[in-house]
Amino acid sequence: MTDLAARVKDRIRDVPDFPEPGILFKDITPVLADAALLESIVIRFAEEFGNADIDTVAGIESRGFILGAPLALALGVGFVPIRKPGKLPWQTARVDYELEYGTDALEAHVDAVGADQRVLIVDDVLATGGTAAGAVQLVRQLGGAVCGVAVLVELGFLNGRDKLDGTRLFSLVGV
């Protein structure tokens, strides 16, 4: 484990039984509260994808926004919010996807990603992979090419990367 990964792991707070009994929630707010650590994370993500010719960064609601927007600035590209249904003010494209405990959906504006734009998707945690896989599907539906998925934490025991069908995945911390 790198020094940065160890520092991040030390700051992640485990919250038992949230949002429901039996779930151990990985709370990254202590990580985000440390400006130097947050900056180091953004720099590390930018190093990982700096040579991938990214055209835009897409952040998954909501913590993907927090990590994705400064990453987009570091890469010198724009930012696209991928949101839960009903939160975007204009025409949207939608993808429904499977979760371990049901279904959900993601939306983006229909013009958020241009044809063949190279997109990096960012989120805080990769768990079962349903949300990340839905975001990949949505970007492709809009005509974009997914260059990778970057997450702060991967819960490897849930095998979420298997749902990404070989899409490049970078996780800073594995749990």
C-alpha 70/C-alpha 163 separation (Å) is 27
Band of the pLDDT at 23, cuts 50, 70, 90?
Answer: confident
Residue 108, amino acid: A
The pLDDT value given to residue 41 = 98
Half-sphere exposure of residue 21: CA atoms within 13 angstroms, side-chain side: 0
102: CB partners within 8 A, 6+ apart? none
Q: What is the dihedral of CA 63, 159, 118, 28, to 10 degrees?
A: 20
Minimal CA–CA distance to 117: which of 76, 149, 145? Answer: 145
Whole-number Å distance between alpha carbons of 97 and 103: 6
d(CA 100, CA 89): 29
- Say whether pTM exceeds 0.85: yes
Rounded average pLDDT over 31-58:
97
Strands 145-154 and 169-174: parallel
CB 61 within 8 A of CB 87: yes
For residues 61-84, average pLDDT: 97
Return the active site residues: 63, 100
Give residue 33's pLDDT.
98
Say if residue 100's pLDDT is above 90.
no
Q: How far apart are CA 171 and CA 118, in angstroms?
A: 19
Domains and CATH numbers, the chain: 52-174 (3.40.50.2020)
Q: Does 150 have pLDDT greater than 90?
A: yes
* 68-78 pLDDT tens trace: 999 999 999 99
For residue 156, the model assigns a pLDDT of 96
pLDDT band at 102 (very low <50, low <70, confident <90, very high): confident
The mean per-residue pLDDT over the stretch 7-33 comes to 95
